[in-house]
Chains A and B, each alone.
Chain A
Amino acid sequence: MITLGDYLLVSGILFSIGFAGVMLRRNLIIIFMSLELMLNAANLSLVAFSRFRVDPNGLPNYNAQVFVFFIITVAAAEVAVGLAILVALFRVRQTTDVKDISSLKF
């Protein structure tokens, strides 16, 4: 029997992998993908919550799933904007390495 804890464990592992990617990788595209991973880890836990919260009428509580749809939508828009910024940045700097992007540093 798969419990809520198992789902949350997987979700936590996914989130940690994503966060580690953001923290450690230097390539902006990889960082971007890791961000998506973190978003989807959150989606996974939300769907799990939805499944394991059963209302008195026997149906699952769909509030969390509505949330997930929103996150997917916003993430799609965010990807479009983020990738556009990346392309623009690459055109100017000829690089996607975060070490080279430090103009705002004091």
Chain B
Amino acid sequence: MNSILSWIILLAPLLSAAVITLFTLRWKTLSSSISIVAVLVSFACSCLMFAHSTAAAIEFTWIGISGVFHVPFGLTLDPLSRTMAVLVSGVGAIIHIYSLGYMRDDEGKSRYFAALSLFMFAMLGIVLANNFVMLFMFWELVGFTSYVLIGHWFYRDSAADAANKAFITTRIGDFGFMIGILMVWIATGSVVFAEIAPRMSILAGHPLFLTIVALLIFCGAVGKSAQFPLHVWLPDAMEGPTPISALIHAATMVAAGVYMLVRVAFVIQSSQTALLAIAWIGTITAVMAALIATQQNDIKRILAYSTLSQLGYMVMAVGLASNDAAMFHLFTHAFFKALLFLAAGSVIVMLHHEQDIWKMGGLSRRLPITFVTFVVGALALIGCPPFSGFFSKDAILALAYERNTPIFTVALFTAFLTAFYVMRLLVIVFFGKPRSDIARESRESTAVMTVPLIVLALLAALGGFAFFARNFLTLPVEKEVAILVPVLAILALIVGSGLAIALYRNRAHDPIDVEVLRHKFYFDEFYSWLIYWTQELVARVSAFVDRWIIDAGAVGGSSRGTWGIGALLRLVQVGNLQAYVFLFGLGVVAIIYFAVFR
């Protein structure tokens, strides 16, 4: 029974995706119902499996070349994956229901729900995979569904471009990931996590190899979790429908990178150099994204940059060798960031798809439920006690304080920035006077959208308390020295929020204007330039090779060579018969000489 249960989690959404795509594309309501039923089944089975800690799954052989390469198709059912399965299917279920309201009048509703189901399948596949090959396959599959869903409104150029950008950028990271997997396989002869872990000791004598492998595998997480320098796709991915931003690009898929790092911690943690690099990349991402977020004006982009920043925190925790802290923050972040996105989505829908925060304002009275839930999410995000974000962020800060002081300083500064930009967003959107007619006339969303908000708000508020989170996770151990840390964190929070409130109260325009932050540190411009010149360089080299080596050398050379040899040889044709005879005679003499006397 248990063994079938765990497969149902995975296969229900796949079935739904198949049925919708093959049969029910025309009936939108039916399609959405199938998809929601599938995700609820997944969620129920995840909960059941979570309750039965002894559950095990049947394993199949997927690829078997005896003695050389063996890939089973099996599921990992440890506390980590069971928690993630509940989390993913739970948040997924809430967002499916919310999508009913958000996508109510959408033309491509069936397509949307099919892709959503396929995403659930792929994401749960990542969570439950028990080997690298399966993990990589599902990894690519979430990349694909992410592409489809970002480009859901593909007739808009910006959406199509954003979809391409997301897919191509993550491919760069995935390439490194694939090489890393192959290196692990070559070194240990296995792709199954449970078999690799005990064999890591073989490699203990090759620290350089281990560092390279760990960093290559980390490349995958850099792409998928949008870490510096491959972070550029995530803000653009906000072109997709808002539930997608909430589910894929905030709560689950982008966290898959962090989850993967935790899953293969036995590789990552075998190299101190790689750990340090990972920690710093996380730190850089966190502070850079927070800086950019302070100067953005699109409500979803601000949230996207805050996602980047929080993912930076998680990666930082992985780099500081604490999987518990990383998973704890992933857990709380999934709730409060999904909540923030869905609340933002509610605002956007009620303002007829207006996303510029300077056209909003005074919405706290018009959208009371959205407002309250958004505030809960925001307080969790900035780490205000007693909301969930406080506990998880505090755990990471305490960890950094203990292990690496420079990282701690930057992380604290990031916490200050987080408070600043979140309060800026809150003050501009929900307080003051409405800055446009749409904002003046907006009304609260329907229950299908507000109920998920309330559920998520409860989770975001309570998710951090030990009595709740302990059931799902191994909580990071609190240390004695860390008393200073929460004090500093709360101080940063108060200063940041106070500054934002003082600066942005009753403003009609942004009083601060930092061009470099508004342009996101010119990363897009730099990459455009880089790609332009790389392509230009390749094109010029190819043109040179084509024009001078192939055309002039190979083609022209053989033609001119034939001409030249012909011109030389026709000088021999003197036209005198007896000269020919003489040469012929000489030839015969030469042949006889060589044949007889040599």
Chain A interface (Cβ < 8 Å from any Cβ of B):
19, 22-24, 31, 98-99, 101-106
Contacts and interface: CB of A to CB of B under 8 A. Distances in A.
Contacts of B582: 23
A102 B575 contact: yes
B570 A106 contact: yes
B585 interface: yes
Contact of A101 (B570, B574, B577): B577
A102 B580 CA distance: 12
A102 B574 CA distance: 8
B577 A98 contact: yes
Closest 7 interchain pairs by CB? A105-B575, A102-B575, A106-B570, A98-B577, A106-B573, A22-B581, A23-B578
B571 interface: yes
27 contacts: A19-B585, A22-B578, A22-B581, A23-B578, A23-B581, A23-B582, A23-B585, A24-B578, A31-B577, A98-B576, A98-B577, A98-B578, A99-B576, A101-B577, A102-B575, A103-B575, A104-B573, A104-B575, A105-B573, A105-B574, A105-B575, A105-B576, A106-B570, A106-B571, A106-B573, A106-B574, A106-B575
Nearest to A98: B577
B576 A102 contact: yes
Interface in B444-488: none
Nearest to B573: A106
Contacts of B585: 19, 23
Interface residues of B, number: 11
Contacts of B577: 31, 98, 101
Contacts of B571: 106
Interface string B329-354: 00000000000000000000000000
Contacts of A98: 576-578
A91 to B, nearest CB: 19
Nearest to A26: B578
Chain B binding surface, main DSSP class: helix
Contacts of B574: 105-106
Nearest to A25: B578
Contacts of B578: 22-24, 98
A102 B577 CA distance: 8
B90 to A, nearest CB: 92
Nearest to A24: B578
Contacts of A23: 578, 581-582, 585
Contacts of A24: 578
Nearest to B578: A23
B583 to A, nearest CB: 11
B584 to A, nearest CB: 10
Contacts of A31: 577
Nearest to B577: A98
Contacts of B573: 104-106
Nearest to B575: A105
B100 to A, nearest CB: 91
Given A23-B581, A98-B578, A106-B571, 15 more contacts: A19-B585, A22-B578, A22-B581, A23-B585, A24-B578, A31-B577, A98-B577, A101-B577, A102-B575, A102-B576, A103-B575, A105-B574, A105-B575, A105-B576, A106-B570
Interface string B559-578: 00000000000110111111
A104 B575 CA distance: 6
A22 B570 CA distance: 24
A22 B578 CA distance: 7
A43 to B, nearest CB: 18
A105 B577 CA distance: 10
A41 to B, nearest CB: 14
Nearest to B572: A106
A90 to B, nearest CB: 16
Contacts of A106: 570-571, 573-575
A81 B573 CA distance: 25
A105 B581 CA distance: 15
Contacts of A105: 573-576
Nearest to A19: B585
A24 B578 CA distance: 7
Contacts of A19: 585
B591 to A, nearest CB: 16
Interface in B529-582: 570-571, 573-578, 581-582
A17 B582 CA distance: 14
A65 to B, nearest CB: 24
A105 B575 CA distance: 4
A78 B585 CA distance: 20
A101 B574 CA distance: 12
A16 to B, nearest CB: 11
A101 B581 CA distance: 15
Contacts of A104: 573, 575
Nearest to B576: A102
B561 to A, nearest CB: 19
A24 B570 CA distance: 24
Nearest to A35: B581
Contacts of B570: 106
A105 B576 CA distance: 8
B151 to A, nearest CB: 70
A31 B577 CA distance: 10
B571, B581, B582, B585: most-surrounded residue (chain A CB, <10 A):
B581
A99 B578 CA distance: 9
A56 B575 CA distance: 53
A10 to B, nearest CB: 20
Contacts of A103: 575
A102 B570 CA distance: 14
A24 B579 CA distance: 10
A19 B589 CA distance: 13
A98 B582 CA distance: 14
A23 B577 CA distance: 9
